[in-house]
Copies of this chain bind each other. A is one copy, B any other.
Amino acid sequence: MLNFECDYMRGACPEVLDRLVKTNMDETLGYGDDPYCKSAAGRIREICGCPDARVYFLVGGTQVNATAIYAVLKHCQGVISPVTGHINHHEAGAVEATGHKVISLPGRDGKLDATEVRNYLKAYWNDENYAHIVEPGMVYITHPTELGTLYSLRELQDMAAVCREYHIPLYLDGARLAYAIASDKTDVTLRDIASLCDIFYIGGTKCGALFGEALVIPRPELTGDLFSIIKQRGAMLAKGRLLGLQFDTLLADGLYERNGLNAIRTAGLLAKGLQAKGYRFLIPPQTNQLFVIMGNAGIERLRKKVSFSLWEHVDADHSAIRLVTDWATSEADVEALLSLL
């Protein structure tokens, strides 16, 4: 079976695994109070160009999103998200379970538009009954989005400008951030993100770590220390160093970027091969997720040899499927897939 189902089907990239093995019998204090977490946090501050940033390591994406949003929102505030945003659709109501509304705006291709956000904020504050309505207290975006699309630097700057105008934080969910910054379609760097966003996370689970995400708060005044909140939400790993040493490895010597580049390169080969065979895309490919339109019969045939997700029905006879590459996808995998089409 060829796997193009998702980017979390394997364990860790070799360097991360090696580090886990080598440090296995080291003895450290728990809960992130260890040299590996300190070193990883230091690397993040340096790479991101934000020397005062708070950095926390958590285990998974839904956990980070719910914890961070809960930590930042005030009572009666909600978070603006595109309809397709992960927190709005695929986290089983984790944000609402913390007591906060996800305010969904339509967006386009998985992205919010700064103007639509500004219009919403303006209308809210102009409504004479605003105190009866959930106050928009944060903007949530993903980069790349759930549809594999990317914000341009200009779009990100515009969004940050709206957020600053209305004094609300901009939160970026970077579950697949390696594949954003490695894309040949992007003009956004990690430093841009750290400069424009008020809070974001650098995804590990889908980008070569065994597991783990690094939450970054560039300007520490946004929140107090989040230790107790993370603990309270069951998101504090006892052996915190397992997270620290993975990020310490990923962020040294460009490993995170290399992991990203492999996915981008193999996705590029795949896209090219698909186009050569006449396939069209639901959305122009930008990162490691391709949404390919196929005939339903062909999809059924392909399913026998390849794992992938059925995304949506396009018309009576066609559907879009999602094909995902990652840090471990090989050119041979891509060729094998193309040979089946």
Contacts from A to B (Cβ < 8 Å): 1, 3, 5-6, 8-12, 17, 20-21, 23-30, 59-67, 70-71, 74-76, 78, 89-94, 96-102, 104, 128-129, 131-135, 205-206, 210-211, 224-225, 227-229, 231-239, 242, 307, 310, 328
Q: Interface majority SS on A: helix, strand, loop or mixed? A: loop
Q: Which of B1, B20, B228, B307 has a CB less than 8 Å from the CB of A135?
A: B228
Question: Is the pair B236, A62 in contact by a Cβ cutoff of 8 Å?
Answer: yes
A307 neighbours in B (Cβ, 8 Å)? 29
A237 neighbours in B (Cβ, 8 Å)? 59-60, 211
Question: Is the pair A8, B238 in contact by a Cβ cutoff of 8 Å?
Answer: yes
Question: Is the pair B8, A27 in contact by a Cβ cutoff of 8 Å?
Answer: no
C-alpha spacing A236/B60, complex, angstroms:
8
Inter-chain pairs besides A59-B59, A210-B242, 12 sampled, C-beta below 8 Å: A1-B27, A8-B30, A11-B23, A11-B242, A25-B328, A62-B236, A76-B231, A90-B132, A94-B234, A96-B134, A131-B228, A211-B237
C-alpha spacing A102/B102, complex, angstroms:
9
Question: Is the pair B25, A60 in contact by a Cβ cutoff of 8 Å?
Answer: no
A225 neighbours in B (Cβ, 8 Å)? 131
26 A-B pairs with CB atoms under 8 Å apart are: A9-B27, A9-B28, A11-B23, A11-B24, A11-B242, A21-B21, A62-B236, A63-B234, A63-B235, A75-B228, A76-B92, A76-B228, A76-B232, A78-B93, A90-B129, A91-B231, A93-B101, A94-B231, A96-B96, A96-B99, A98-B99, A101-B102, A205-B238, A210-B239, A211-B238, A233-B233
C-alpha spacing A147/B236, complex, angstroms:
22
C-alpha spacing A328/B239, complex, angstroms:
15
Question: Is the pair A131, B227 in contact by a Cβ cutoff of 8 Å?
Answer: yes
Determine the residue in chain B with the shortest Cβ distance to A7: B238
Question: Is the pair B97, A99 in contact by a Cβ cutoff of 8 Å?
Answer: yes
Q: Known A24-B12, A66-B234; judge A93-B134 contact (CB<8 A).
A: yes
A89 neighbours in B (Cβ, 8 Å)? 133
A328 neighbours in B (Cβ, 8 Å)? 25
Question: Is the pair B92, A96 in contact by a Cβ cutoff of 8 Å?
Answer: no
A104 neighbours in B (Cβ, 8 Å)? 104
Question: Is the pair B21, A94 in contact by a Cβ cutoff of 8 Å?
Answer: no
C-alpha spacing A119/B12, complex, angstroms:
41
Interface centre among A10, A67, A238 (most CB of B within 10 A): A238
A29 neighbours in B (Cβ, 8 Å)? 5, 9, 307
Q: Known A30-B8, A238-B61; judge A97-B232 contact (CB<8 A).
A: yes
Q: Which of B11, B100, B234, B242 has a CB less than 8 Å from the CB of A234?
A: B234
A206 neighbours in B (Cβ, 8 Å)? 238
C-alpha spacing A263/B179, complex, angstroms:
45
Question: Is the pair A91, B9 in contact by a Cβ cutoff of 8 Å?
Answer: no
